[in-house]
Amino acid sequence: MNEDQIEGKWKQIRGEFKQKYGTLTDDDVTYSEGKFDEMLGRMQEKTGRSKEDLKREIDKW
């Protein structure tokens, strides 16, 4: 899955991630073009999961 596909899908699943990982804020899950890795880094820091794990979880949606 490329970043364009993830961006579109992300709009559908960000609420699910915020519910699952209660420490995430709107700022943490805001996707900005070209800033996908930065967003994953914030999520990694808050959830304690690796970027690879988070990408796999996103891909499952």
pLDDT digits (tens, 9 = 90+) for 26-45: 888 776 666 778 888 888 99
Specify the higher pLDDT residue, 10 or 22.
Answer: 22
* Sequence-distant (≥ 6) Cβ neighbours of residue 41 within 8 angstroms: 51
d(C-alpha 14, C-alpha 19), whole Å:
9
Two tokens, residue 41: 């880094």
pTM to 2 decimal places: 0.59
Provide φ and ψ at 35, rounded to 5°.
-120, 20
Specify the higher pLDDT residue, 58 or 34.
Answer: 58
Assign 17 a pLDDT band (cuts: 50, 70, 90). Answer: confident
Distances (CA, A) of 28 to 13, 40, 58: 13, 8, 15
CATH number of 3-60: 1.10.1470
What is the pLDDT, as a whole number, of residue 33?
61
What is the pLDDT, as a whole number, of residue 48?
92
Kindly list the domain boundaries of the chain, sorted by start residue: 3-60
